[in-house]
Amino acid sequence: MKVSVIVPVLNEEAALKMTLERLRTVLERTDWEYEIVLVDDGSSDRSLEILLAMGALDERLKVISFTRNFGHQAAITAGMDFATGDAVVVIDADLQDPPELIPEMLQLHEQGYEVVSPVRISREGDTWFKRQTAACFYWLLRKGVDSRIRPQVGDFRLMSRRVIEALRGCREHQRFVRGLIAWLGFREATISFERRPRVAGETKYPLWKMLRFAWTAITSFSALPLRLSIVVGVMFSAMAFIYLVWALYASVMLQRVVPGWTSIIALQSLSVGVILLSLGLIGEYIANIYEESKKRPLYVVQALQNLHAKDPADVARARNDLVLHWEKTPLAQGSSLVAIEAVGAATSDSALVSEEAKAAHA
Q: pLDDT of 165-212, one tens digit each?
A: 999 988 888 788 888 898 899 999 999 988 776 555 565 555 666 666
Report the pLDDT value the prediction gives residue 110, as an integer from 0 to 100: 96
pTM above 0.75, yes or no: no
- 198: number of Cβ within 10 Å: 18
- Read off the pLDDT of residues 218-258 as tens digits, 9 standing for 90 and up: 666 666 676 676 677 777 777 777 777 777 777 777 766 66
pLDDT band at 269 (very low <50, low <70, confident <90, very high): low
Query: What 3-state DSSP class applies to 214?
Result: helix
340 pLDDT more than 70: no
Q: What are phi and psi of 361, to 5 degrees?
A: -70, -35
Tell which residue, 297, 296, 300, 299, has the closest CA to residue 341.
Answer: 300
Better-predicted residue by pLDDT, 130 or 31: 31
pLDDT at 335 over 70: no
The predicted structure's pLDDT at residue 195: 76
Confidence tier at 79 by pLDDT (50, 70, 90): very high
Which of 264, 278, 283, 282 minimizes the C-alpha distance to 236?
A: 278
* Average pLDDT estimate for 24-34: 95
| Mean of pLDDT values over 314-336 | 41
